[in-house]
A and B are shown apart, each in its own frame.
Chain A
Amino acid sequence: MFKILKYSFYDLMRSRWSYVYFLFYLALGFVLLFLNNDINKAIITLMNIIIVLTPLIGTIFGVMYYYNSKEFTELLLAQPIKRSTIFMGQYLGISISLTLSLALGLGIPFLLYGLFRSTAIFDFGLLLVVGSFLNFIFVALAFNIALSNENKIKGFGYAILMWLFLAVIYDGIFLISLLVFNEYPLDKFSLIATMFNPIDLSRILILLKLDISALLGYTGAIFKKFFGTNLGMIISFVVLFLWVLFPVWRMNIKLRRKDF
């Protein structure tokens, strides 16, 4: 598995898109810090971008890589290697290279602007951890979609739709249900609803660590009680971890039955 991981990792490292992605985050980090020197404020802006963009890039990269390297994968499949080994290697290769682009691209400008001397280092760390989780989750989801669809166009379509659903439509449905069931106690409901969407979950995790926690506390003390405590943090991370595990598990099931 490590050989394949290494191979896809180096393959991606050589590819132009990894550099573009890396340079994009690098430029973003520098521009943000150049425009306002306050690291704390830059982190809030950065959150908005990471929450939306990381899943999108992860999804597209995952689908694209699967379809592009399909022939090579089929060649590998002819060898006496376990299927799960091949795909897990590829999956980890993409996820790790994307995460590296993210961490380095944002890390370098923030380090240069004195992150270690700032109190925001934990917030920044959390941001990177959440961003990495989102990478792993969405690449896994993209692989699932690609595995289930032989048709490239269909696969791309579904993948984009999945991103659109989790990033935008889910929140819309969430908001409408909050408005419709206004009369009922909604705290528990909204708490559970956020757990079912990794983007929402990461957004709230970061929001609560940044300065907006009291806003949430204003209405539902329950959010703060839940996410504000260590237990809440642990549960949220466990849920994020499950969000990685579940698609990976399904991927393996799917692999075993698939006729290449």
Chain B
Amino acid sequence: MRNIYFFTILFFCISPLFAKQIEVCSTCDIKTIKEAILIAEDGDEIIIKRGVYKEHGVILINKSVKIKGIGMPIIDGEFKETILKIKADNFSIEGLKIINVGQSYTKDFAAILVSKSRNFTIKNNILEDVFFGILIEKSHYGTIENNDVSSHAKDQASSGNGIHLWHCSNMQASRNTIHGVRDGIYFEFVKKSKIFDNNSYDNLRYGLHFMFSNENEYFDNVFTNNGAGVAVMFSKFIKMRNNIFTKNWGSASYGLLLKEIYDAEIENNTFEQNTIGISVDGSTRINYKKNTFSRNGWAIKIVGACYENDFAQNSFLNNALDLSYNSKINSNKFDNNYWSDYTGYDLDKNGIGDVPYRPVKLFSYIVHNTPEAIILLRSLFVDIINFSEKVSPVFTPDNLVDNSPLMKNTND
């Protein structure tokens, strides 16, 4: 007790002038993180030393402190509730291993919950067996960097998301690894934020999920073997660059789902071995440029109500079906793409095929109307009808053509 008094007096004297360090360990004066936070002041640094701390419901309010773990101290929530709750500006959390977050069907328990905060950093943490990993509400200018979030999600109803942002802006999520949760990264009502260099795999639902989030960017991420890849829904002005979407393979899977998206840029991405590379539904003014689609079931599946999409300089390599298209052409354009199925010639040697290419085959048109017909894939009969349709198109939209298909694959 005396120590605490001593420290408290000391803080009141010194803290306005100097930031001090508070050490937490099993042999220190301060043994729990809760105590440390209680006595901490603005600008202090809480150093948590190696050890296991069985704590949950730790609350940090209105104190700008730095919490730093040395030697990866373990904070074990014992499956009770949210472990760290924070509402403060200018704080940071670094080098902690937070495990065992409680599960709930009514409350969103998280390893780290941040609400109404500004200018914070959460980095180099390991979060294991979480319900929600990092849950951030109504916060701005935060950085979430180099965290490893994982869990053992069994079904969607009883699991949470790795990094969940709600009503935030100007956030940055980078170099995180997320696996075994429901959605790897979930953005809901988030503006002007960046997601890059993350690796999101083996998640139950989506690797990355956008809802009502405008003007965001995500690039250089890898999304592998998630329930359904990446979903971008009801959002505007999203930039997607240099991402890799692979092995999102399953009966209702896709690499990227676009639903009600406007004015997006999709550039330089790689879609490999997905059931559907990109599934597009009600999306308008989107530029697809320099993407590579290889060995997907469908490279692109356009469901309907899509206007003024521009597909240029993409490579379509060995997909079972390149394009599935159900409605009118609706001023969507295909130009300068490379199609591995293209059989035309280039007499003037300018690298552009002299014969237009029709990406929609009769068979993909039939499969669109009668899904069961997919069982005839690669049958000789199907090859014959595809060929005859190619020679004289009757069923497939006759203005859906790539007038200048490339002769060589330009994206490597």
Footprint of B on A, CB under 8 Å?
Answer: 41, 47-48, 51-52, 167-169, 171-172, 174-175, 178-179, 182, 186-187, 190, 194, 200, 203-204, 207, 211-212, 214-221, 223-224
Contacts and interface: CB of A to CB of B under 8 A. Distances in A.
Given A52-B380, A211-B273, A190 B375 contact: yes
Interface stretch (B216-224, B229-237, B248-256): B248-256
A223 B381 CA distance: 20
Contact of B379 (A178, A179, A203, A215): A203
Contacts of A167: 380-381
A59 to B, nearest CB: 14
A216 B384 CA distance: 21
A174 B382 CA distance: 11
B374 A215 contact: yes
Contacts of A200: 376, 379
A168 B388 CA distance: 14
Contacts of B298: 215
Nearest to A182: B370
Q: Which 10 A-B pairs have CB atoms at the shortest separation, nearest pair first?
A: A219-B371, A171-B381, A217-B251, A215-B297, A186-B372, A214-B275, A171-B379, A168-B381, A214-B249, A172-B381
B380 A207 contact: no
Given A212-B297, A215-B275, A218-B252, A223 B375 contact: yes
Contacts, number: 84
A178 B380 contact: no
Given A172-B381, A186-B370, A215-B297, 8 more contacts: A167-B380, A174-B376, A178-B370, A179-B366, A203-B378, A211-B273, A215-B275, A220-B371
Given A47-B378, A168-B380, A175-B381, A218 B371 contact: yes
15 contacts: A51-B380, A172-B381, A178-B372, A187-B372, A200-B376, A203-B379, A204-B375, A214-B251, A214-B253, A216-B375, A218-B251, A218-B252, A219-B372, A219-B374, A220-B375
Interface of A (DSSP majority class) = helix
A88 to B, nearest CB: 31
B377 interface: yes
Interface in B117-138: none
Nearest to B252: A218
Given A200-B379, A212-B377, A190 B320 contact: no
A125 B380 CA distance: 22
Interface residues of B, number: 28
A44 to B, nearest CB: 8
B249 A194 contact: no
Interface of B: 249-253, 273, 275, 295, 297-298, 318, 320, 366, 369-382, 384
A207 B369 CA distance: 22
A220 B375 CA distance: 9
A217 to B, nearest CB: 4
Contacts of B381: 167-169, 171-172, 175
B54 to A, nearest CB: 44
Contacts of B380: 51-52, 167-168, 171
Nearest to B249: A214
A215 B376 CA distance: 11
Contacts of A41: 318
Contacts of B250: 214, 217
A211 B378 contact: no
A187 B370 CA distance: 11
Nearest to A187: B372
B318 to A, nearest CB: 7
B384 to A, nearest CB: 7
A221 B295 CA distance: 21
Contacts of B374: 215-216, 218-219
Contacts of A174: 376
Given A48-B378, A175-B376, A218-B252, A182 B369 contact: yes
